Structure 1
């Protein structure tokens, strides 16, 4: 909802007519705003509360809120990724296999399968050695592997993105020779 400056009336914003870049910028800035406010609240409200069972540790008041927000973001991202992948595969079913001499369907299938492959590979290669957290041993091998999978996949994707940017940056050097 926004206010029309000429008539000072409320008008509903129709996001369907926004350009993709404008919509993604809007979502990006909203998420950054929420994260900054949440980080400030986490640090400023009840951060120094002592842990009930061991007074050497802190038990910040808003830890549950931060963890819940991270889980919602992760789940939302995975859901959005799956919906986008399914929609893209449906749109590129038959008539849009090749768009402007670019194999669109093949690219979307390869990206989906490669992402799944990297997730499975990093899960299989992750360590399940126990960790000591707040003085207690954490031994749940599934969650240890799952956290290792997300860390490993994130690092791999960052390295792949850097490599893609470096390769793209050398485009002009390759064309001039």
Structure 2
């Protein structure tokens, strides 16, 4: 009989890999069900539009996943600060604390700037004008910050790959 693996004895990479594969499996199954079950159901108010049956399940899964990720990020940050308590400011001549603070401040600053710079022009959604400025700016903030962070990540990869010469 196969033993159940104790999660406490797994390395961080083994544990994160298993969680990653479980999440990928759940996402694939959920999206497959979304496309297979009731995807072509007509919308009650306007039959020209479709109202997939599992839209609410997909939206709630994304909301739960987002808040779980934010919660785990905050928990990890609190644990890191509590464990180090001023130690490990510089690790192997790398200013670890300064880098961590710069990442947090940079991310928050990018959220604030992209929110302030986002457009409030009305959008056509399902044939109706959507004019709620808060949600228009919020959507613009997430899109703008995502694009900015992707560009920064690609830049860091390019910089890192060109500077790592042995």
- TM-score w.r.t. the length of structure 1 is 0.87
**In structure 2, which of residues 105, 113, 118 is the aligned counterpart of residue 113 of structure 1?**
105
Q: Please report how far the alpha carbon of residue 89 of structure 1 lies from its aligned counterpart in structure 2 after TM superposition.
A: 2.4
SS at match of 2:129: strand
SS at match of 2:48: coil
Q: Please report how far the alpha carbon of residue 51 of structure 1 lies from its aligned counterpart in structure 2 after TM superposition.
A: 0.3
Q: Please report how far the alpha carbon of residue 52 of structure 1 lies from its aligned counterpart in structure 2 after TM superposition.
A: 0.1
Tell me, in whole angstroms, the C-alpha distance in 2 between the residues paired with 1:112 and 1:91.
18
Q: CA RMSD in A?
A: 1.6
Structure 2 equivalent of residue 26 of structure 1: 18
Q: RCO higher in 1 or 2 (8 Å CA, sep ≥ 6)? A: 2
Structure 2 equivalent of residue 90 of structure 1: 82
Stretches (4+) displaced over 3 A: none
Q: Which runs of 5+ in 1 are unaligned?
A: none
The alignment of Structure 1 onto Structure 2 pairs a total of residues equal to 166
- TM-score w.r.t. the length of structure 2 is 0.92
Is 2:50 the counterpart of 1:58? Answer: yes
Q: Which runs of 5+ in 2 are unaligned?
A: none
SS at match of 2:70: helix
Tell me, in whole angstroms, the C-alpha distance in 2 between the residues paired with 1:137 and 1:87.
45
Tell me, in whole angstroms, the C-alpha distance in 2 between the residues paired with 1:88 and 1:122.
28
Structure 2 equivalent of residue 163 of structure 1: 155
